[in-house]
């Protein structure tokens, strides 16, 4: 299959997988060989094994980083530093796109950047919302309060009741007065951690009051 013919078939898709490719031809093996060449020529970009987007100059739909993060590792939702920055609860954070998942902790690196995923127990995998972004693509992102709780929980060893300044001095939390104290306590309770409950209450006392 020529590249132009392939492009016509998938150009309206923000990304495509090898499983989809298998439906486009009677000879999937040959097409997979072509994919390797097209990737080398910059006509397609690999996000992870088995998942691709058209190359920068070839694609008509530009996917957002949050959309890509959701799709690269399923299930997942954007949280932690990326969500906190999105809500302006910390200054802009662009080093990597941070997410949580019920699967194993892992990291992917591709032309779009670094995508990290940290594990949460299934009963705490909640508190996220669907937002519409670039090109009307939709992404899952933690609610502001859940992003805070996810962050505190996954960095719990760094916090103590005797260091009240760490929230602002080390992590530069800001604009926290708009957060809902009840929701923070509600999400923290799901983790069944006395220390997390203590640190969340300290966070509320120091930054929301």
Supply the DSSP symbol for 75: S
Edge to edge, the sheet with strand 77-78 lists 106-110, 113-119, 97-101, 77-78, 138-142, 128-132
pLDDT per position as a tens digit, 69-117? 999 999 999 999 999 999 999 998 778 999 999 999 999 999 999 999 9
Looking at residue 19, its pLDDT comes to 86
* pTM for the full predicted model: 0.94
CB 52 within 8 A of CB 46: yes
pLDDT, position 96: 95
What distances in angstroms separate CA 73 from CA 18, 80, 102, 157, one per listed residue?
15, 16, 10, 26
pLDDT digits (tens, 9 = 90+) for 126-164: 999 999 998 899 999 999 999 999 999 999 999 998 998
Report the alpha-carbon distance of residue 5 to residue 104 in Å, rounded.
Answer: 38
- pLDDT tens track for 2-37: 899 999 999 999 999 988 888 887 777 888 889 999
Tokens 């970009």 sit on residue: 45
Grouping H, G, I as helix, E, B as strand and the rest as coil, residue 5 is helix
* pLDDT tens digits, one per residue of 167-206: 999 999 999 999 999 999 999 999 999 999 999 999 999 9
- Among 143, 136, 155, 130, smallest CA distance to 180 is for 143
* End-to-end C-alpha distance for the chain, whole angstroms: 63
**200 closest CA partner among 150, 126, 141:** 150
């Amino acid at each position: 299959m020529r590249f132009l013919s392939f492009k016509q078939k998938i150009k309206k898709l923000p990304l495509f997988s090898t499983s989809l490719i298998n439906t486009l031809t009677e000879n999937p093996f040959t097409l997979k060989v072509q994919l390797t060449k097209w990737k080398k020529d910059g006509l397609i970009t690999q996000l992870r094994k088995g998942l691709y987007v058209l190359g920068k100059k070839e694609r008509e739909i530009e996917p957002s980083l949050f959309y890509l993060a959701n799709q690269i590792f399923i299930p997942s939702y954007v949280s932690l530093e990326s969500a906190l920055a999105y809500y302006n609860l910390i200054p802009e954070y662009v080093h990597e796109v941070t997410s949580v998942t019920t699967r194993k902790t892992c990291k992917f690196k591709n032309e779009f950047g670094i995508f990290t995923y940290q594990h949460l127990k299934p009963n705490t995998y909640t508190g996220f919302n669907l937002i519409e972004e670039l090109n009307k693509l939709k992404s899952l992102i933690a609610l502001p309060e859940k992003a805070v709780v996810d962050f505190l929980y996954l960095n719990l060893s760094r916090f103590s009741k005797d260091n009240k300044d760490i929230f602002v001095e080390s992590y530069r939390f800001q604009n926290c007065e708009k957060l809902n104290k009840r929701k923070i306590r509600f999400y923290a309770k799901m983790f069944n951690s006395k220390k997390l409950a203590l640190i969340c209450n300290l966070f509320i006392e120091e930054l929301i009051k």
